[in-house]
Chains A and B, each alone.
Chain A
Amino acid sequence: MGVLRVVNLGVKVGDKSILKNVNLFIKEGETFVLFGPNGSGKSTLLNALIGNPSYQITSGRIIFKKIDVTNLPANERVRLGMGISFQNPPKISGVKLIDVLRYCARVGGYGEDKIMEFAEIMKMKDHLYREINVGFSGGEIKRSELLQLMLMNPDLVLLDEPDSGVDLENVALIGDAIRRLLDRDKTEDRVKSGIIITHQGHILDYVDADYAAILYNGRIACTGEPKDILNQIRNHGYEGCLAKCLRNMESLE
């Protein structure tokens, strides 16, 4: 069954058109990895999916669990089961991490005990009464974002660069959390789906995914096996990888 279907999506930010005719289909239990150079529109896609009003939809539709959510505000998409971890979430002075975790737990239907349990796992217990993201290190921001997701317990997990700026010691912890969010340790009855955006791909050492693609110039290209695509990007760069897969596509035709 399809959880997410994106049809001909076009997105602009201000006057600048970023995504053109993006099509995506994600089935229940599937994890999809999206690679792409800086500025290719990866974050734009996730922001458009979750309903960030700064990203304007110019064409197409977003269907989530058979509901057209294209015009729904973010909180309603979240209630339906979408969840996102941001690459650079804002600082909000006076609003404490614990406050936000309580909002998240409300979404996931968890109580105070789970907040403490998950905070312990994500090594964020010392940060609960600090203002959210204020003075957090890169790794602390990622752990805080994943902790929030764990409490929201979404069916579709959107992860924007969950491994960037994370020191080696914590990559494994973050990998564990993501595997858990995406049911990756389950072999059957997997219900969670996800999109992982990664620039460098380190996270794939810890999390397996079903397939991957490259977002280039506002379009999705080169769908394939994640490790395979990552190797090609590492060996040939984005340009090389794209040229190669375009050649393959032509020869297939």
Chain B
Amino acid sequence: MSEEYGEFGVDSKRLREVGIELDRSKRSGTFLMEDQHAKTFASFFEGVEVMSIKQAMEKYDWVKDYFWKILRKDQDEFTKMADTEDVNGYFIRSLPGAKVEIPVEACLYLKRADKQRVHNIIIAEEGSELNIITGCTSHPGAIGMHIGLSEFFVKKNARISFTMIHGWDTTIEVRPRTAIKVEEGGTYIGNYILLNPVKLVQAYPTAYVEKDGTVIYSSVIVAHEGSVVDYGSRAILMGENSRVEIISRTISKGGKIIARGHIVGDAPGAKGHLECRGLMLSENGLIHAIPELEARYPNVELSHEAAIGKIAEEEIFYLMSRGLSRDEAVSAIVRGFMEIEIKGLPEALQEAIRRTIEMAEKDLL
């Protein structure tokens, strides 16, 4: 594996923590960007294109039409900051009808940059399927800010699963900006995992869902002492029978979490559900759940459930009565709390999430 990535001067242990496989035989494409430089990228599968956004712009003159198409430059000061000449990022595209089940792997690595500015374009052409895992991390000791813009285009009857695993440091501020357009009959599965300490993460990906489109968002977030995580998932159900499911699991280990969710039902038959659960593992810390439902059309079905608390003593005792010590019982319950099963996610990615959770577990308890 060192011959794969080590030559690029990145810390492979950090990559492993964010689900990066380091084994090209298990990926259909790879992309590695350090600060503003795309260090390496390649596609190993006919139906998928993986390149830097700079190269994509040179190759196809239509790529610029997707740039800033569903994100706005003037959205906030961070989107403005990312609108620079040297912005870089990945371009991943599955060709019409291509089924790319083996994941494409993308890694964004912050080493020396004061502000890493990333702008990604991801396109699943009509009837295609694309699975992506992206790990974002920083070099040990790095200080800075990561601004990551991503625009996803799920064309008619296409499907994208996007699993993002973050592993930063207490010196890094992270501001992803994500928009997703799901065309008729398309599916977008978005997973976000953040288990390590960070200074601040603030993100609120928004999906615009057209007729018969489906969006499933899942997130597992741990905020350690000193971390502030303001993370939400939003879906605008703008087409007939479009639907969304949002599942959020948050754990405060002394840090502050704002868990947001927002579903807008604006078309007949639109259906959305938001499930937000929080676990307080520390006397300090804070979890603030803000689920929002917004109906703009009579014939919609929107619901949410939110629950925050500590681990129930009754559950700990139950497992102790099956032979576990108190500590073992607590850890089994916390692991269960974080283990979300994501429908439609390839096993390799489910496994990457599981492994990330296992690695982070010992620091959690």
Chain A residues packing against B (C-beta within 8 Å):
50-54, 73-75, 78-79, 83-84, 86, 89-90, 92-96, 99-100, 103-104, 106-107, 131, 148, 152
Contacts and interface: CB of A to CB of B under 8 A. Distances in A.
Contacts of A148: 322
Interface in B311-343: 312-315, 317-326, 332-333, 335-340
Contacts of A54: 313-314, 317
Contacts of B322: 78, 100, 103-104, 107, 148, 152
B320 A75 contact: yes
Contacts of B320: 51, 73-75, 78
Contacts of A107: 322-323
Contact of A94 (B313, B319, B323, B335): B335
Nearest to A94: B336
Contact of B333 (A50, A53, A83, A95): A95
A103 B336 contact: no
Given A54-B313, A99-B332, A92 B318 contact: yes
A79 B325 CA distance: 11
Nearest to B314: A90
Contacts of B315: 90, 92
B324 A94 contact: no
Instruction: Please report whether the interface of chain B is mostly helix, strand, loop or mixed according to DSSP.
Output: helix
Contacts of B337: 93-94
A52 B336 CA distance: 22
A74 B317 contact: yes
A51 B320 CA distance: 9
B121 to A, nearest CB: 35
8 contacts: A75-B320, A75-B323, A89-B318, A92-B333, A94-B335, A95-B332, A103-B323, A152-B323
B339 A100 contact: no
A32 to B, nearest CB: 20
A84 B324 CA distance: 14
A94 B353 CA distance: 14
Q: Is the interface of A mostly helix, strand, loop or mixed?
A: mixed
A89 B322 CA distance: 12
Given A86-B318, A103-B319, 9 more contacts: A50-B321, A73-B320, A75-B323, A78-B320, A90-B314, A92-B318, A94-B340, A104-B322, A148-B322
Interface size band for B: 20 to 34
Contact of A74 (B312, B321, B332, B335): B321
B312 A104 contact: no
Contact of A79 (B277, B317, B323, B333): B323
B314 A94 contact: no
A99 B321 CA distance: 14
B313 A53 contact: yes
Given A94-B336, A94-B338, A95-B333, A75 B324 contact: yes
A96 to B, nearest CB: 8
Nearest to A50: B321
Contacts of A84: 321
> Among the interface residues A51, A53, A93, A148, which one has the most CB atoms of the partner chain B within 10 A?
A93
Contact of A100 (B314, B319, B326, B335): B319
B41 to A, nearest CB: 36
Nearest to B341: A94
A73 to B, nearest CB: 6
Interface string B267-295: 00000000001000000000000000000
A106 B332 CA distance: 15
A189 B42 CA distance: 71
Q: Which one of B312, B319, B335 has the highest number of Cβ atoms from chain A below 10 Å of its Cβ?
A: B319
Contacts of A90: 312, 314-315, 318
Contacts of B335: 94-95
A104 B314 CA distance: 18
Query: When A and B form their complex, which 6 residue pairs have the shortest distance between CB atoms, in order from nearest?
Result: A94-B336, A95-B336, A107-B323, A74-B320, A103-B322, A75-B320
Interface in B222-251: none
A104 B322 CA distance: 5
Nearest to A74: B320
A94 B277 CA distance: 12
A52 B323 contact: no
B353 to A, nearest CB: 13
A103 B324 contact: yes
A94 B332 CA distance: 9
A95 B277 CA distance: 15
Contacts of A75: 320-321, 323-326
